[in-house]
Amino acid sequence: MATIPWLVDVLRGAGVQVVVEGDWLNRMRPGSFNPIGVLWHHTAATSSASNPHPALNICINGRSDLPGPLCQALVDYHGVFHVISAGRCNHAGVSGGSGPIPAGDGNTLMIGWEIDYNGVSQQMTAAQYNASVAATAAVLKRLGRDASHARGHRETSTTGKIDPSFIDLNSMRADVAARMAGGGTAWSATVDNTTAGRFTASANWGVSTYSGQRYGTNYRYANPVAASDAAWYKFNVPATATYRVEAWWPANAGYNSSTPYVVATTTGNRTVYVDQRVNGGQWRVLGTFTLPAGDANRVGVSRWSGAAGYVIADAVRLTRV
């Protein structure tokens, strides 16, 4: 095998969001490429929601001491795979041997994901992890290899590499194996009212720690009003598909009996009314909906209720089904 021109299709088929970076089919290093495994790295660059792929240019073009491409794909802050190369890349150096990966030329033996986080003061995001597990499972299935062929650079390096930091690689392989078996690890993401950059509400929504049934440190509350002043939860939905939408609220006899949750589906907004006087402190299913791919506000809590009592915005979870 000299190239893996199937990479983009395999990733998309696994529900991974893909951005194709230019002429990826013809951008590669000379030399042999017969991959039997997937190697995880971190870039050591500090990524953020507003700067999601700071190492992308280096991974495409290389640096003064190492010509690019430096990986087959870069995984950005939001879990989007930027596909750079269908062939050999300078990511692995010499393999010292790890699990079923023998000692030898790591760039021949493995496909590399450069996951864009700094690995010292910054961990991999949940979106990066979920997408990397899904991508690794799909690629290993395509290669006809099991989950033991997923490795971390620190396992194969002969030069003391530490990447990928903050990841238990045995847990990662267990998650890849579960994904390959078709169980357990469907894409899921939770947004709490304190999740940075993913929750917005006006100043009319107060902050409370009153109920011990809250998710996380606090929750938001507001009086019902016949006006549009929703609190919104933003998700980076990996593919247009069916998702289970769940909500968590602390319950109280004084809270609203008909709180409107708005779900932004492929066919417009759907509203589900819940009784926040009961069923608190647990995930409650609002329904399953077809959601469009992309990063946007997906679920809102509206203040427009005809019932009395505070409407509550705490946490929302999406799970692909």
At its nearest, how many Å lie between Zn ion and the CB of residue 153?
Answer: 3
Q: Select from 82, 149, 153, 317 the one that contacts Zn ion (CB under 5 A).
A: 153
Joined together, the tokens standing for residue 41 give 């790295």
Q: What is the CA radius of gyration of the chain?
A: 22
The smaller minimum CB distance to Zn ion, of residues 106 and 309, is found at 106
Give dist(CA 243, CA 96) in Å, integer. 42
Q: Select from 14, 16, 41, 75 the one that contacts Zn ion (CB under 5 A).
A: 41
198 belongs to the binding site for Zn ion (CB under 5 A): no
Q: Select from 21, 76, 116, 163 the one that contacts Zn ion (CB under 5 A).
A: 163
Sign of CA dihedral 111, 117, 119, 124: negative
The smaller minimum CB distance to Zn ion, of residues 7 and 39, is found at 39
Site size with Zn ion, rule: CB under 5 A? 3
Structural contact between residues 278 and 194, judged by C-beta atoms closer than 8 angstroms = no
**Span 47-106, contacts to Zn ion by CB under 5 A:** none
Q: Judged by CB under 5 A, which stretch of 44-52, 145-153, 212-220, 283-291 contacts Zn ion? A: 145-153
Q: How far is CA 187 from CA 126, 206, 319, in A?
A: 10, 31, 6
User: DSSP character for 114?
Assistant: E
The smaller minimum CB distance to Zn ion, of residues 158 and 240, is found at 158
Q: How far is CA 61 from CA 2, 79, 84, 215, in A?
A: 21, 21, 10, 44
The smaller minimum CB distance to Zn ion, of residues 116 and 163, is found at 163
Please give the residue ranges that form the binding site for Zn ion (CB under 5 A): 41, 153, 163
